[in-house]
């Protein structure tokens, strides 16, 4: 847990999807060393599920979500937020410039994950993510800066990952979807990945880490931990 300090208002740009937003807020609460309500981080959640599909936009087959994201970020800024957290991995293809435009400090789910992997001495990491995240190479530059090689599923495997993500978003995820994700994670581990990154928040909601032979990294958990640190002006955790 992180020592408490002066709290800054955190804006959560959520709704992408709703279940992932709920999951993230729960982790934000868990990562706060609070003994009373008043010691928790103040949070405003903008949960707009109408934001067009980020992955489809990146693949050139969908509407640009930028105007919707800009509106949400603007509402968070007008609500008094200083720190921005976005649990949706794929949205990070769009939000950095929008956060800067609004004058909010973005805590990047990509950067905190890459830094955590590097701190653990990881040299190769498998990515379970949306096709948009993979094609936009959102994690690649951050991982490579830390000397980490990213692996991703082959094309049939990626179809399985996307089917599982869609099932979570629709509320119909079953055992078969979790097993499909675990199979892809095991394949990435067999290729040399020292960690498997659940680089889509919905993946965390369906994948059982006990079925994977290497540790599964939850970027939403890492994001929550860093957001608490930044919001409370705490010192960085020692490796």
Q: pLDDT tens across 76-122, in order?
A: 999 999 999 999 999 999 999 999 999 999 999 999 999 999 999 99
In 20-98, the DSSP E strands lie at 43-47, 83-85
For residue range 121-172, list pLDDT tens digits in order: 999 999 999 999 999 999 999 999 999 999 999 999 999 999 999 999 999 9
For residue range 5-48, list pLDDT tens digits in order: 478 999 999 999 998 899 999 999 999 999 999 999 999 999 99
The answer to whether position 154 is within a domain reads yes
Question: Model's pTM, two decimal places?
Answer: 0.92
Which residue has 């968070």 as its token pair? Answer: 76
CATH number of the structural domain spanning residue 195: 3.40.50.1860
In the numeric block, which tokens belong to residue 92? 């990070």
Q: Which of 88, 114, 167, 188 is catalytic?
A: 88
For residues 127 and 204, state if they share a domain: yes
Q: What is the pLDDT of residue 6?
A: 72
In the chain, the DSSP E strands lie at 10-14, 43-47, 83-85, 105-107, 124-128, 149-151, 195-198, 216-217
Q: Which of 200, 206, 231, 232 is catalytic?
A: 200
Whether residue 81 lies in the annotated active site: no
For residues 80 and 117, state if they share a domain: no
The answer to whether position 64 is within a domain reads yes
For residues 27 and 93, state if they share a domain: yes
Domain extent for 145:
110-218
CA 104 to chain centre: 18
- What's the CA gap between 15 and 35, in Å, rounded? 29
The answer to whether position 237 is within a domain reads no
For residues 84 and 103, state if they share a domain: yes
Provide the domain count of the chain: 2
Q: What is the pLDDT of residue 235?
A: 56
For residues 97 and 125, state if they share a domain: no
Whether residue 200 lies in the annotated active site: yes
The answer to whether position 20 is within a domain reads yes
SS3 category, 62:
coil
- Residue 1 pLDDT exceeds 50: no
């Amino acid at each position: 847990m992180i020592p408490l300090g002066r709290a800054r208002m955190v804006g959560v740009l959520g709704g992408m999807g709703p279940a992932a937003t709920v999951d993230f807020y729960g982790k934000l609460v868990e990562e706060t060393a609070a003994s009373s309500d008043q010691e928790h981080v103040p949070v405003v959640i903008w949960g707009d599920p109408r934001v067009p599909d980020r992955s489809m936009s990146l693949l050139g087959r969908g509407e640009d979500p930028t105007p919707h994201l800009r509106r949400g970020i603007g509402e968070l800024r007008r609500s008094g937020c200083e720190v921005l957290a976005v649990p949706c991995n794929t949205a990070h293809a769009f939000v950095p410039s929008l956060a800067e435009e609004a004058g909010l400090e973005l805590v990047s789910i990509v950067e905190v994950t890459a830094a955590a992997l590097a701190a653990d001495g990881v040299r190769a990491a498998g990515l379970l993510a949306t096709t948009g995240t993979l094609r936009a190479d959102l994690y690649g530059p951050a991982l490579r800066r830390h000397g980490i090689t990213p692996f991703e599923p082959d094309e049939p495997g990626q179809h399985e990952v996307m089917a599982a993500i869609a099932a979570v978003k629709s509320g119909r995820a079953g055992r078969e979807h979790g097993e499909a994700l675990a199979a892809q994670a095991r394949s990435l581990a067999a290729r040399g990945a020292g960690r498997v990154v659940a680089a889509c928040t919905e993946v965390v909601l369906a994948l059982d880490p006990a079925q994977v032979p290497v540790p599964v990294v939850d970027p939403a958990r890492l994001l929550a931990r860093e957001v608490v640190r930044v919001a409370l002006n705490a010192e960085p955790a020692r490796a």
